[in-house]
Amino acid sequence: MPRRSERTERFTESVIRRMTRVADLHGAINLSQGFPDFDPPPELLRSLRNIALSGPHQYAVTWGAPNFRQALAGKISRFMCLPIDKDENLVVTCGSTEAMMAAMLAVCNPMDKVVVFSPFYENYGADAILSGAQPIYVELRPPRFTFDRDELRKAFEQKPKAVILCNPSNPSGRVFTRDELEEIARLAREFDAFVITDEVYEHIVYEPHRHIYFASLPGMFERTLSCSSLSKTYSITGWRLGYVVAPPEMADAVKKVHDFLTVGAAAPLQEAAITALELPDAYYRSLLEGYREKRDVFLKALDRAGLLYTTPEGAYYVLVDISEFNAGNDVSFCEWMAEHVGVAAVPGSSFFHEPTHHLIRFHFAKRRETLEEAGKRLIGIRELWKRHPMPAVDS
């Protein structure tokens, strides 16, 4: 038989999505794959119901229905403080997952280098394999997950085509300061690189931290492909509505990739989501307030369980240190925890380039009751660890 492609041989299964299946298998509370267990805004659901009857039900314009792009351009211009043109600067994609992939394919030739901060959202590894790009990893150093300026400069000296920047950052919860972003901007200019951003948590940034859109830095719009989505902002991860904001020439390149990859995002969902894009500022304040409360509830639960963590500055993830268990293997530890404690997390090793087996990632995009129940279960973790130790794993 002929062999499958080498690029798929290099793939590993998404650990995040596998952990959802492990959680389901054991009936565990799923704090692994980050998605809410609460409803989207009610206006959005009403709009979806109406559109089921009125349509559209056929293809939209491949890079996004014009009225959806109009509403999207309005919302983005308002928050980015930049004039975004619905025809020249926007491509609507199937989630930011496709946005990032299409951006990478539009920017990189096979063997081009891209700078990736580690820990990183696991999809970037697959994006690099699919586009043929070679990642140069730059460590975000715990406990604050900051980068070393000399290390970053050395990475840029290898002439990367682009840098991938997830801000607010998944999984570390880091929100980069203006100073750090300006350092990246200086290097991008000096070494003539693109910047591909993943800003899906743009509205989930806790005081006193502030989100700064990379494209809004002086001179950066021209070299930035900003990816984001409606998934986290309006609690509609299953709608798969994402987008790329870019200067016209790059938006045009992304449009071409996107057209041949997927033709387009779901037309009725674009139509329904216009309602979300027109929500007032109060919506974003209450979204953030909701997440701040969830963060506080969950961090308190971790304190009660005596588990150590880095406080997230943004997004809805927290990295917890499991060194005290001497588990050796974070993947087996997460499987053990889903089965015996009834709470699922993602093994940290799937986010790090450096061998890292002492961290696990929880997400807290869940109702207060769900988080409190998870907290109760975690209190018993040490006792359960003694009673049902994890089978030894050959490394």
- Minimum CB–partner distance for residue 97 and ligand GLN (Å): 6
| Distance, CA of 267 to CA of 249 (rounded, Å) | 25
- Kindly state the smallest distance separating residue 77's Cβ from ligand GLN, in Å: 25
Counting beta carbons within 10 angstroms of the beta carbon of residue 247, is it exposed (0 to 12), middle (13 to 18) or buried (19 or more)? middle
DSSP string, 202-262: TT-B-TT-----GGGSTTTGGGEEEEEESTTTTT-GGG-EEEEE--HHHHHHHHHHHHHHH
Tally of CB atoms within 10 A around 296: 13
Omega cis (within 30) before 208:
yes
Nearer to ligand GLN, 221 or 309 (CB): 309
CB nearer to ligand GLN: pick between 123 and 270:
123
Cβ 43 vs Cβ 246: under 8 Å: no
Can you state the angle between helices 248-262 and 95-107, rounded to 10 degrees?
A: 120
Beta-bridge partners for 245: 90, 226
Q: What six digits make up the tokens of 100? A: 């990032």
Helix (H) or strand (E) holding 187: helix 178-190
Q: Smaller CB distance to ligand GLN: residue 28 or 73?
A: 28
CB of 170 to ligand GLN, least distance (A): 5
Q: In terms of CB distance, is 99 or 267 closer to ligand GLN?
A: 99
Least separation in angstroms between CB 278 and ligand GLN: 25
CB of 344 to ligand GLN, least distance (A): 11
Cβ closest to ligand GLN, residue 136 vs residue 345: 345
- Comparing CB distances to ligand GLN, the nearer of 95 and 375 is 95
Least gap, CB of 265 to ligand GLN (angstroms) = 15
Q: How far is the CB of 82 from ligand GLN (least distance, A)?
A: 25
Centre a 10 Å sphere on the Cβ of residue 38 and count the other Cβ atoms it contains. 12
CB nearer to ligand GLN: give 160 or 168. Answer: 168
Please give the residue whose beta carbon sits closest to ligand GLN in the complex. Answer: 34
Name residue, tokens 């209190």: 379
Both tokens assigned to 245: 């904001």
Task: CB nearer to ligand GLN: give 82 or 129.
Answer: 129
Whether a cis peptide bond, with omega within 30° of 0, leads into 168 is yes
- CA-CA-CA-CA dihedral for 142, 185, 99, 80, to nearest 10: 100
Please give the radius of gyration of the chain, using alpha carbons only, rounded to the nearest integer.
21
CB of 126 to ligand GLN, least distance (A): 11
**Contact residues for ligand GLN, defined by CB under 6 A:** 16-17, 33-34, 97, 121, 170
